[in-house]
Structure 1
Amino acid sequence: MRWTSGRADCVYYFANLANGATLDLHHRLGFTELTRAFSFPGDPLRPGTGVLLRADLTTGQ
């Protein structure tokens, strides 16, 4: 995230809803949930099983 903060204002992450450990970790890192209705080319998750998160890097997160 430090490397990205010098190049962008935010960073995105997506994960399986069933992976509570990674979702908890990313929430602690400053990520907030954007949507559960998204698609990404080549995304291995079935529709309705993923969550898209975003962290704002301009606030020092």
Structure 2
Amino acid sequence: MAKIELTEAEKREVLECLEKGKPLDDRFRFLLFGDKREVELVWNGKTSQVCNVVLPFQVIEVGV
């Protein structure tokens, strides 16, 4: 694992955010957690339940 290198001012800013329960600034995302390219959509009421759904294909008509 690579060493995290933050300036003293950045460390103070991170600690201040954590102590106040504030979200961290986006610039710390890659510094602290690496370059992970995983994306998840989140919304109120979203569940972790997984289901399989059969969907019909959409017919696209092309005029010639």
Which range, TM-score by smaller chain?
under 0.3
Q: TM-score, normalised by structure 2?
A: 0.21
Q: TM-score, normalised by structure 1?
A: 0.22
The structure carrying a bigger helix percent of its residues is 2
